[in-house]
Amino acid sequence: MSPDRAPPTVLTVQTGHRYPDLWVSRLAAMVARHLPEAHRFIIYTDRPEAGRFESPGAAHQQLEVRDLQGDSLQGFFGKLRLFDQALTGTDPFLFLDSTLVIRASLEPLIAIGRSSSASVIGVRDWNYPILNSSVLWCRPDAHTQAVWDAWQQGRYADIVFPGDQNVIFHVFGETAPAALTYWPEGLVSSYKALLKLARRDPEAAQRELAASTILKFHGRPKPDEVLHPWRHPQHTILRHPLHPRLWSYLADDVRRHWH
Question: Average pLDDT over the chain, rounded to whole?
Answer: 91
Which residues lie across from 124 on neighbouring strands? 131
Summarize pLDDT for 17-54 with one digit per residue, the tens. Answer: 889 999 999 999 999 999 999 999 999 998 888 788 98
Which domains are present in the chain?
9-182 (3.90.550.10), 188-257 (no CATH)
| pTM tops 0.85 | yes
pLDDT at residue 74 greater than cutoff 80? no
Task: Tell me the pLDDT tens digit for each residue of 187-243.
Answer: 999 999 999 999 999 999 999 999 999 999 998 899 999 998 777 777 787 777 767
Does 75 score more than 70 pLDDT? no
The letter for the amino acid at 73 is L
pLDDT computed for residue 77 by the predictor: 78
